[in-house]
Amino acid sequence: MTSTSRSRRGLTAGLGLVTALSLAACGGNLGGGDSADAAESFPDGPITLLVGQDAGGSTDLIARALADQASDELGVPITVENRPGANGAVAAQELAGAEPDGQTLMTFVGSLAYITPLAVSEDEAVDIGDYTVVTGISLDDYVLVTSPQTGFTSVEDVVGAGRPVTFGTTGVGTGSQLSQELLFAQAGIDATAVPFDGGSPTLTAVLGGQVDVGAVQLGEAAAQIEAGELVPIVTFAEERPQYLPDTPTAVEAGYDVPVQQSRAIVAPDGTPDEVVTRLEEAFQAAFASADYQAFNEERLLTPDEIGGQELQEQWTGNLENYRSLVEEYGIDLGGGQ
Amino acid sequence: MDLSPVLDGFGVVLEPTNLLYCLIGVVIGMLIGVLPGLGPAATIAILLPLTFGIEPVTAIIMLAGIFYGAQYGGTITSVLLRLPGEASSVVTVFDGHALARQGKAGTALGIAAIGSFVGGTVSIVALSIVAPVVAGFALDFGPPEYTALALLGILLVSTVSSGDRLKAVVAASIGLLLATVGRDGFTGAERFTFGSLDLADGLDFVPIAMGLFGLGEILHNLEERHRAVQAPAKVANVWPSRADLRRSSGAIGRGSVLGFLLGILPGGGATLSSLAAYALEKRRSKTPERFGRGAVEGVAAPETANNAAATSSFIPLLTLGIPANATMAVIFGALLIQGVTPGPQLVSEDPELFWGVVNSMYVGNILLLVMSIPLVGVFVRILRVRATVLAPITVLITLVGVYTVRNNVFDIVLVIAFGALGYLMKKLGFDPGPLVLAFVLGSLLEESLRRSLLLFGGDPTGFLTRPISGTLLALFLVVALLPLVRPLVRAALGRRRAPAPTDTHHPDHKELV
């Protein structure tokens, strides 16, 4: 993150810092800052887990499911705090300004790191390289759906329709938009993006035939797919998600568009290695719990519990890949239209 | 019509928690109805954050209770103290207080309570029938339909609402402008954010409502607190006589229908319908000179109509996601906080919430009917609580409350800024209602319009070829042109009617528009 945006840190972060400092002082940790000290005394009081989305959404539920389990492991409470705004950029900004002692963490959404930067101006783009990643969490798949009335069942059908199509997206700078833009560009389909405000309005528009197709997260459409009200065309996963085994991926259908929503636990840059390791162990233990695994099944999430380093490379790789694809096909996620 | 979700709704209402919150809601509603100044929109805005931890259906049951409860409470002070607790009870003062001076305060309150109950109940039944029909068109409502609906809504809000029309238009325009703040949902471009991430998602509705309605009203009331409270009239014999009942039964019937119809209109609602019902009764009466001197119809009609309207104004919100008045806009915000998007899909996707809330109104109205008379004395005493005690507490609750919604200090700053704006608006005679409604409808209008044009490939004639949006736009034209045409029509009619001014008038809506 650039220095300008750091200096623009909200009042909230400032207050949070004051509170954190005074708490640390009360705890008698007057030395402060020294990494060995920090590691020994970690965790020093309750941990704050920031969520950049509204309470009740997927990211929030994941954070809460993990917080319960990891807090047992660490022996301190983990409180989930929602700081919704700008697809998580508000929370990310606060995290960047927090003390790097492992007491403040965030449930980061991948799209903020590798899709949103393609749509917003450079100084608003969040760089995952400015943070320390603790661990990956899981993958959420996007599925391209249509109403049975369109008669589309495969990408070929859409191509074969020989007419311009409209597609609903869950918003600008989302995986829903990127995946469809890439797919239709590669398939040579004349398609117009119609952004909606989130998954549920997008689905309603597809169900009502307002748009021809739309891409939403798998968990949002699963019930309607099962009921036959929606037809899945492709998923944008790397491999077929276990929850939708009969629907091909876009890659299988011949298009190079793997787009998934990934989530990770992220700490401020400069968090001591010992603390990161301790946190990683705690979250691995949370991943292993039966309750959490049942939660993943229920929300149709594919576990992706990879190490922090690996995840960081993956996300950076995604961003570069998407950036070159977007340039290659002349797609403009923002502006343009 | 499949009745099982309706019956399940009763099951939801009868859960002890929901009953309790329904009771809390109507008691708070009556209470603030008694207090002049603090209206239901302000109260609901202030209490929004408290609903955060409650189940959505429970929260909305309580907030709805506050709204229709306030219509009951407002009557009490109108009758006893000549001090309308709510704008919608202003006309009740004329005959209600006259009755009280004749020693018939009990009769006035009794008639008002019965009228309110009937009006509310008729309206709930009608709502139960109409809402699913509207919702049946759920999937036919696409962006073009919402565009037309939002246009119509904004027009009605700024022209039909009570008060100065020009000032309402000004307030609505400011609301529309405020709605443009934030990251453009179609291009990602920043608009009026001044580089602040706090503004990237636009201004949040909750701090605006809490500031304009909550803080603004508190500040404005502090200025006007010097009114001495006189000793209330004695209340005896609440049961109206048979003659009084017979005399007001027609007024109650007409008030129910009129209130129901006006409540549905965006910009309509309780205040407008109470005025209209009073005017209608006075015009219909063979002895209009009795009005203002203690006519029971003059109490029955407005009190019935304001309750019927309070109930029916839930229809556009729950079936289309369009708030009809300022209080509904705040309840709209409450639903969004709870993760529930009101709209045509609500009845089918969340029948428990929909029918739970609708059916809770039956229970709430019964509670109000039972409580309204015995509690009169208590509520009147509350008027003696000094504003200097009440105001700081309310401000504190407001500021702490808004912080808890998003844990964001910026929202506190917003509340204070909009509180100041709300105070100034009130002082200068602007109603903040149109601003808030236009703010809500503004984003809907812009987004739907742009979505529609994307769908139509940029061709605006697409709006006219779709049946629902075409009809709505035709309606828009009619409403927009009415003020221009009306003087001509009236002039023509006036010439013809002039010789026989004592004609028995059929009910018409002239002074409503």
Express each pLDDT in B330-354 by its tens digit: 888 888 878 787 877 788 888 889 9
Look at residue B386 and tell me whether its pLDDT is greater than 80. no
How far is the alpha carbon of B170 from chain A, nearest alpha carbon, in Å? 28
Q: Is A197 within 8 Å of chain B by CB?
A: yes
User: Do A8 and A136 reside in the same domain of the chain?
Assistant: yes
Residues A209 and A128 occupy one common structural domain: no
pLDDT for res B179: 93
What was the pLDDT predicted at B88?
82
Put simply, the answer to whether B190 touches A82 (Cβ < 8 Å) is: no
- Considering the domain boundaries, does residue A331 fall inside one? no
Q: Could you tell me if residue A215 is inside a domain?
A: yes
Residue B208 has pLDDT above 60, yes or no: yes
Q: Collapsing DSSP states into helix, strand and coil, what is residue A214?
A: strand
Average pLDDT, chain B: 83
| Angstroms from A312 CA to nearest CA on chain B | 24
Torsion angles phi and psi, residue A40, rounded to 5: -65, -45
Q: Please report, as a single letter, which amino acid is at residue A199.
A: G
Q: Is the pLDDT higher at B165 or at A71?
A: A71
Using a CB–CB cutoff of 8 Å, tell me whether A3 touches chain B: no
**Interchain proximity B195–A8, CB inside 8 Å:** yes
- Same domain (yes/no): A131, A157: no
Residue of B nearest to A89 (CA): B197
Output B481 or A234, whichever has higher pLDDT: A234
Q: Is the pLDDT of residue B226 over 70?
A: no
Domain annotation covers residue A329: no
On whether both A10 and A136 belong to a single domain, the answer is yes
Whether residues A43 and A158 share a domain: the answer is no
- Residue A264 β-bridge partners: A108, A136
Looking at the structure, tell me whether residues A173 and A289 fall in a common domain.
Answer: no
- Whole-number pLDDT of residue B509: 36
| Residue A113 sits in the same domain as residue A146 | no
Chain B: give the shortest CA distance to residue A291, in Å. Answer: 23
When mean pLDDT is compared across A152-161, B64-73, B383-392, the lowest value belongs to: B383-392
* Token pair of B272 as six digits: 């407008």
Alpha-carbon gap: A254 to the closest alpha carbon of chain B (Å): 28
SS3 of A158, please?
helix
* Model confidence band, residue A213 (pLDDT cutoffs 50, 70, 90): very high
Task: Report the distance separating Cα B195 and Cα A22, nearest Å.
Answer: 30
Tokens 């203002």 -> residue? B292
Decide if A336 is inside a domain: no
- ipTM beyond 0.85? no
pLDDT of A4 strictly over 70: no
Is A337 within the bounds of a domain? no
Count chain A–chain B contacts defined by CB atoms under 8 A.
104
CA distance A7 to B463: 47
Identify whether residues A130 and A20 lie together within a single domain: yes
Which of A57, A82, A86 shows the shortest C-beta gap to B201? A86
Q: Do B123 and B311 contact (CB within 8 A), yes or no?
A: yes
Amino acid identity of B411?
D
Q: Which ranges of B136-241 would DSSP assign to H, the alpha helix?
A: 143-160, 165-178, 205-209, 216-223
Q: What angle do CA A64, B210, B162 make, to 5 degrees?
A: 135
CATH of the domain at A8: 3.40.190.150
Total length of chain B: 513
Tell me the pLDDT tens digit for each residue of A127-139.
999 999 999 999 9
How close, in Å, is residue A147 to chain B by CA atoms? 12
Verify that A26 and A175 share a domain, yes or no: no
d(CA B38, CA B395): 12
Q: Name the pLDDT band for B494 (thresholds 50, 70, 90).
A: low
Asked if pLDDT for residue B110 goes beyond 60, the answer is yes
Residues in chain B whose beta carbon is closer than 8 A to a beta carbon of chain A? Answer: 138-143, 183-190, 195-198, 200-201, 339, 341, 343, 345, 406-410, 447, 451, 454-455, 457
CB contact at 8 A, B151 and B480: no
Those of residues 122-141 in A touching chain B at CB distance below 8 A are: 124
**pLDDT tier for residue B268 given thresholds of 50, 70 and 90:** low
User: What value does the mean pLDDT take over residues B207-223?
Assistant: 85
pLDDT band with cut points at 50, 70 and 90 for residue B160:
low
* B289: confidence class by pLDDT, cuts 50, 70, 90: confident
| Closest-approach residue (CA) in chain B for A119 | B188
Considering only the beta carbons, identify the residue of A8, A15, A119 that sits closest to B188: A119
Domain ranges of chain B: 4-493
pLDDT: which is higher, A9 or B30:
B30
**Token digits for A229?**
């009200």
What is d(CA A46, CA B412) in angstroms, rounded to the nearest whole number? 26
What's the CATH code of the domain at A186?
3.40.190.10
B341 and A200 within 8 Å at the Cβ level: the answer is yes
- Same domain membership, residue A134 and residue A13: yes
Alpha helices in chain A, H assignment, sequence order: 3-7, 11-26, 35-41, 58-74, 89-97, 110-114, 116-119, 155-160, 175-187, 199-207, 218-226, 273-288, 290-298, 308-328
Residue A188 sits in the same domain as residue A290: no
User: Does the pLDDT at position B157 exceed 80?
Assistant: no
Domain boundary among A239, A259, A279: A259
Whether A10 sits inside 8 A of B143 (CB atoms) is no
Q: Which of B287, B292, B352, B364 is nearest to B64 (CA)?
A: B364
For residue A333, tell me if it sits in a domain.
no
Type of residue found at B318: L
Amino acid B271: pLDDT: 80
Q: Please give, rounded to a whole number of angstroms, the shortest distance from the CA of A223 to a CA of chain B.
A: 12
pLDDT band with cut points at 50, 70 and 90 for residue B508: very low
| pLDDT higher than threshold 50 for residue A2 | no
Task: Tokens for B82, please give them.
Answer: 């000549």
| Contact between chains at A333 and B188 (C-beta distance less than 8 A) | yes
On the question of pLDDT at B315 being above 70, the answer is: yes
Q: A309: burial class by Cβ within 10 Å (0-12, 13-18, 19+)?
A: exposed
A207, closest residue in chain B (CA to CA): B139
Residue that is written with structure tokens 């059929």 in the block: B506
**Distances from the Cα of A96 to the Cα of A43, A130, A279, A319, B18, angstroms:** 19, 8, 18, 20, 43
User: Which residue is closest to A7 within chain B, CA to CA?
Assistant: B196
**Does any CB of chain B come closer than 8 Å to the CB of residue A41?**
no
Structural domains of chain A, count:
2
Checking DSSP bridges between strand A131-146 and strand A302-303, what pairing results, if any?
antiparallel
Distance CA A235, CA A247 (A): 7
Distance from CA of B478 to the nearest CA of A (A): 27
Higher pLDDT pick, A160 / B227: A160
Does residue A334 fall inside a structural domain? no
- Closest chain A CA to residue B449: A194
Q: What pLDDT, on a 0 to 100 scale, did the predictor assign at position B153? A: 82
pLDDT score of A23 more than 50: no
Asked if residue A268 and residue A279 are part of one domain, the reply reads yes
Dist CA B205 CA B336 (whole Å): 10
Task: Report the pLDDT value the prediction gives residue B481, as an integer from 0 to 100.
Answer: 85
Sequential DSSP letters for B394-445: HHHHHHHHHHHHHT-HHHHHHHHHHHHHHHHHHHTT--HHHHHHHHHHHHHH
pLDDT digits (tens, 9 = 90+) for B9-55: 888 888 999 999 999 999 999 888 877 667 788 888 888 888 877 88
Minimal Cα distance from B144: which residue of A? A210
Residue pair B425/B213 in contact (Cβ under 8 Å)? The answer is no
Range of the domain at A22: 3-140+261-324
Residue B495: band (very low, low, confident or very high) from pLDDT cuts 50, 70, 90:
low
**Residue located via tokens 């292993």:** A288
**CA–CA separation, A260 and A174 (whole Å):** 10
Are residues B168 and B161 in contact, defined by beta-carbon separation less than 8 angstroms? yes
Considering only CA atoms, which of A243, A213, A253 is closest in space to residue A231?
Answer: A213
Q: What confidence category does residue B89 fall into, taking pLDDT thresholds of 50, 70 and 90?
A: confident
pLDDT of residue A76: 93
**Residues of chain B neighbouring A86 (CB-CB closer than 8 A):** 183, 197, 200-201
The mean of the pLDDT values for chain A is 85
pLDDT at A3: 38
Last residue of a domain, one of A259, A278, A307: A259
In this prediction, residue B275 carries a pLDDT of 85
For residues B304-308, average pLDDT? 92
Q: How confident is the model at residue B254 (pLDDT cuts 50, 70, 90)?
A: very high
Contact B410 A164 (CB under 8 A): no
Nearest beta carbon to residue B189 from set A90, A210, A335: A335
At residue B453, does pLDDT exceed 90? yes
B345 to chain A: which residues are within 8 Å by CB? 204
The larger pLDDT score, comparing residue B79 to residue B450, is at B450
Confidence of residue B58 (pLDDT cuts 50, 70, 90): very high
Residue A14 has pLDDT above 50, yes or no: no
A64 and chain B in contact, CB less than 8 A: no
User: Which of A217, A240, A259 delimits the end of a domain?
Assistant: A259
Q: Which of A146-150, B157-161, B494-498, B509-513 has the lowest mean pLDDT?
A: B509-513
Contact B204, B182 (CB under 8 A): no
A335 — pLDDT class (breaks 50, 70, 90): low
Is residue B84 left, alpha or beta, with left meaning phi > 0 and alpha meaning psi from -120 to 50?
Answer: beta
Instruction: Look at residue A36 and tell me whether its pLDDT is greater than 80.
Output: no
Residue in A10, A197, A205 nearest the CB of B198: A10
Condensed to tens digits (0 to 9), the pLDDT of residues A44-88 reads 889 999 999 877 778 988 999 999 899 999 999 999 988 887 788
Q: Tell me, what's the pLDDT at A113?
A: 94
Residue B393 has pLDDT above 90, yes or no: no
Integer angstrom CA distances of residue A136 from A38, A265, A272, A303: 23, 6, 18, 9
User: What DSSP string describes B79-141?
Assistant: HHHS--SSGGGTTHHHHHHHHHHTT-HHHHHHHHHHHHHHHHHHHHHHHHHHHHHHHTTGGG-
Q: Is A85 within 8 Å of B185 when comparing Cβ atoms?
A: no
Residue B265 in tokens: 């209109």
Which residue type, as a one-letter code, is found at position A305? E
Q: Residue B237's pLDDT is what?
A: 67
**Confidence bin at A111 (pLDDT 50/70/90):** very high
Give B-chain residues touching A8 at CB under 8 angstroms: 195-197
Window from A126-135, B43-52, B81-90, B243-252 with minimum mean pLDDT = B81-90
Q: For tokens 């809504």, name the residue.
A: B153
> Cβ atoms within 10 A of the Cβ of B495, count?
9
Q: Mean pLDDT throughout B145-173?
A: 82
Is residue A49 classed as helix, strand or coil in its secondary structure? strand
Residue at A204 is within a domain: yes
pLDDT at A206: 93
B339 to chain A: nearest residue by CA? A56
Choose between B452 and A227: higher pLDDT: B452
Contact A20, A99 (CB under 8 A): yes
